[in-house]
Amino acid sequence: MPFCPKCRIEYQEGITHCPDCGAELVAELPPEEESRLSPSETELVELCRLSDPNQGDVLKATLEEAGIAALVRTKGPISGELARVVDGITDDEAIIYVTRNRLEEAKEVLRAVESAPVVWPEGMTPVEDEREGEDDLEE
C-alpha cells in the first residue's frame, strides 16, 4: 500500500499522489523526525496582556493566521465561558502565550496589529452615543 510521506496516511493501490497535500506517494513511510527544538524553545512564554478577553481571541486568530500557535488564558474574578457573557462587567484580562522559539515573530505581529489603522467597512462606522455623559437612570 502506498503512503504519503508528509501526511503519513496510507492509501489504496493505484493512487500515486496524496489528495490532501499533493505529495508523491511512497511504498514505505520514512522514519518520523524527532523534534529539533529543545524543550526551552517550545516552552510557553507570555507575549502580552489585554484588558479585553475578546481582543485576546482576535489576536490569537491573527497570530495563528501568521502560522504562530497561541494560547489565550482569561484571568479575572469570572473566567471561562461565563466571562464572555458578562463581558465588560468585570475586570477580566486575556493573557496571550506563544512558544519561546516564535516569541520574536509574535512580537512583530503584535506591533503590526497595534500600529495598523482602524478601517471600518462602509456603513459600519461607530455612532457616537447621544446620551454620553448622562445618567442611565431616569427619575
Query: CATH number of the domain that 68 lies in?
Result: 3.30.70
Q: Measured between alpha carbons, how far apart are the two ends of the chain, in Å?
A: 79
Q: Are residues 109 and 50 in the same domain?
A: yes
Burial class (CB in 10 A: 0-12, 13-18, 19+), 127: exposed
Dump pLDDT digits (tens) for 6-59.
888 888 888 898 888 888 999 988 787 665 667 777 899 999 999 888 888 999
Asked if residue 90 lies in contact with residue 78, where contact means CB atoms within 8 angstroms, the answer is yes
The pLDDT value given to residue 139: 42
Cell digits for 21? Answer: 497535500
- Is 137 or 86 the better-scoring residue by pLDDT? 86
Kindly report the backbone phi and psi dihedral angles of residue 115, in degrees, each rounded to the nearest multiple of 5, phi listed first.
Answer: -95, -5
Which backbone phi and psi does 128 adopt, to 5 degrees? -65, 140
Does the predicted TM-score (pTM) go above 0.85? no
Q: What is the pLDDT of residue 61?
A: 93
Residue 18 and residue 83 in one domain: no
In a domain, 16, yes or no: yes
Within a domain: residue 93? yes
Q: Provide the domain limits for residue 4.
A: 1-29
